[in-house]
Amino acid sequence: MTRMEALTDDPAFMADPYPAYARWRRSGPVRRTTTPDGTAVWLVTRYADVRAALGDPRLSLDRTNSRGGYGGFRLPPALDRNLLNMDAPDHTRIRRLVSRAFTARRVEEMRPRIQAVTNRLLDAVASCDRVDLMAALAVPLPLTVIGELLGVPAGDREAFRGWTTTLIAPDPGRPGQAGEAVGRMSGLLARLVADKRAEPADDLISAMIAARDEEDRLTEEEMTSLAFLILWAGYEATVHLVGNGILTLLRHPEWLAAVRDDPALVAPVVEEVLRFVSPTPYAIRRFTVEDVTIGGVTVPAGDTVLLSLACAHHDETVFLGPENFAPGPRENSHLAFGYGAHYCLGAPLARAEAQIAIGTLVRRHPGVTAALPVEELRWQPSYRSHGLLELPVILSKAG
Ligand code: HEM
């Protein structure tokens, strides 16, 4: 089996990864490659195989099934005992505890609050001509919403995002930085849990503490790890969905005009953004618990498998003209939120935030334009996440 080009953290790659994705799919359904941290993985490139693998229980998320020792993030048990590192039955038990907080109905009830936060953020920049929409809207909206839901004080949220960014896009010149960030995150979560134990509030961390202390339904490490996962997952990809969504409309002004004229189109637009520029290019790494044949290739037990969601989303055997941005009335069968037992818990929340952020921006500033040519935009230097560092625009006044 020939090796494919290694996966890269180069931000220039993220500016236009699609020719590479087409090459990967053409070169075979499953290829050996390495991640930027040097882990050898089997990369799955085509839609049907990716979807089947997401639902295949022989692909475990539990690192103890890794034969060669998987690198990845080095997290202490207080952060690591989370849903994305475990299989049933622990996964089923813990997921059940929090799934009620994120149902479509609960998220509908949150819409007025999401709208109010969006309005406040856009009010703050309404009189500016040139605005970075990542800093003004895409970052603070999801961070505020998930911070409020969990009960993380406003003053701690930006620092937390800084630490997780260090983990996703480590600075090669500062090797100790990731360990320091992990220490600070553990410290913050321990402080939050202690504070809420002493003084419970109407928030999700207090509810988790009650499930732990009064009902004994999860261990202390599972509880802090769950809070950590929901906080991080709750903003990271949503930040980039909002950013990528706005950028895509700026690059397709006919769709910006269409959403302005018919606000209901924002829902199919957001679905197509999820397919077209997936904020999460890969599913969480998985480990084969036995020899597993994928696309005709046998992956030995204990090896690491990486499922490329973004590559699958441009598979021409499934999506007609996948390089065209074409929101449609038909159901969009993208895999941006995963599939199967680990299907994203926050999908309704992410959709609501992106629809409200993009819809409100277009309504208030229908003539918004990019302040920089697309080639000059800076992308996050990470293979794990596809998103912008900045999105400078010229805002128009409401028409
Ligand atoms: C655009 C935004 C988002 C995207 C693209 C996204 C994507 C994903 C994907 C692909 C998975 C499955 C991972 C896998 O099976 O390998 C996942 C799981 C998860 N997501 Fe999201 N997510 C988003 C927003 C959110 C939000 C807002 C939350 C807040 C609660 C959230 C919480 C979670 C959790 C807790 C899991 C783990 C579920 C489990 O293991 O059972 N996500 N997400």
Provide the CATH number for the domain around residue 314: 1.10.630.10
Q: Which atom of ligand 1 is nearest to the CA of 279?
A: 5
pLDDT above 50: residue 35: yes
| Residue-by-residue DSSP string for 166-218 | HHHS--TT-TTHHHHHHHHHHHHHHHHHHHHHHS--SSHHHHHHHHHHTT--S
User: Cα–Cα distance between 152 and 157 in angstroms, integer?
Assistant: 7
pLDDT above 70: residue 74: yes
Q: Does residue 134 lie in a domain region?
A: yes
What's the chain's average pLDDT? 94
- Please name the residue whose Cα sits nearest to atom 3 of ligand 1: 237
Counting ligand 1 atoms within 8 A of each CB, the residue from 345, 351, 353 with the most, and so the one to mutate, is 345
Q: pLDDT confidence of 353, banded at 50, 70, 90? A: very high
pLDDT of residue 301: 97
Q: Does residue 374 lie in a domain region?
A: yes
pLDDT above 80: residue 329: no
Split into its structural domains, the chain has a count of: 1
CB-hemisphere CA count at 13 Å for 257?
3
User: Cα–Cα distance between 349 and 338 in angstroms, integer?
Assistant: 15
User: Cα–Cα distance between 383 and 282 in angstroms, integer?
Assistant: 8
Counting ligand 1 atoms within 8 A of each CB, the residue from 98, 248, 344 with the most, and so the one to mutate, is 344
Averaged pLDDT for residues 283-298: 97
pLDDT above 80: residue 237: yes
> What is the share, in percent, of the chain residues with pLDDT greater than 90?
87
- Please name the residue whose Cα sits nearest to atom 7 of ligand 1: 337
CB-hemisphere CA count at 13 Å for 236?
24
Q: Does residue 16 lie in a domain region?
A: yes
CB distance 283 to ligand 1 below 6 Å? yes
Q: Does residue 315 lie in a domain region?
A: yes
CB distance 53 to ligand 1 below 6 Å? no
pLDDT of residue 399: 46
Token duo for residue 28: 């075979």
Q: Which atom of ligand 1 is nearest to the CA of 95?
A: 41
Contact 266, 255 (CB under 8 A): no
Ligand 1 centroid, distance to 336 Cα (angstroms): 9
pLDDT digits (tens, 9 = 90+) for 185-196: 999 999 999 999
Reduced to 3 states (helix: H, G, I; strand: E, B; else coil), residue 44 is strand
pLDDT of residue 397: 65
Q: pLDDT confidence of 3, banded at 50, 70, 90? A: low
- Expressed as residue numbers, the domain containing 311 is 11-394
pLDDT above 70: residue 398: no
pLDDT above 70: residue 292: yes
Q: Is 309 exposed, middle or buried (0-12, 13-18, 19+ CB in 10 A)?
A: buried
Q: Does residue 6 lie in a domain region?
A: no
Q: Does residue 1 lie in a domain region?
A: no
pLDDT above 70: residue 167: yes
pLDDT digits (tens, 9 = 90+) for 80-105: 999 999 999 999 999 999 998 999 99
Averaged pLDDT for residues 172-182: 88
User: Cα–Cα distance between 91 and 81 in angstroms, integer?
Assistant: 10
Q: Does residue 5 lie in a domain region?
A: no
User: Cα–Cα distance between 210 and 158 in angstroms, integer?
Assistant: 27
Averaged pLDDT for residues 179-188: 93
Closest CA to 356 of 114, 161, 89, 182: 114
pLDDT of residue 314: 97
CB distance 387 to ligand 1 below 6 Å? no
Q: Does residue 399 lie in a domain region?
A: no
CB distance 95 to ligand 1 below 6 Å? yes
Helix axes of 266-276 and 253-261: crossing angle, nearest 10 degrees:
150
Q: pLDDT confidence of 242, banded at 50, 70, 90? A: very high
User: Cα–Cα distance between 399 and 396 in angstroms, integer?
Assistant: 8
Token duo for residue 308: 């490329």
Ligand 1 centroid, distance to 64 Cα (angstroms): 22
Ligand 1 centroid, distance to 369 Cα (angstroms): 31
pLDDT digits (tens, 9 = 90+) for 103-118: 999 999 999 999 999 9
Which of 168-177, 278-287, 318-327 has the weakest average pLDDT? 168-177
pLDDT above 80: residue 251: yes
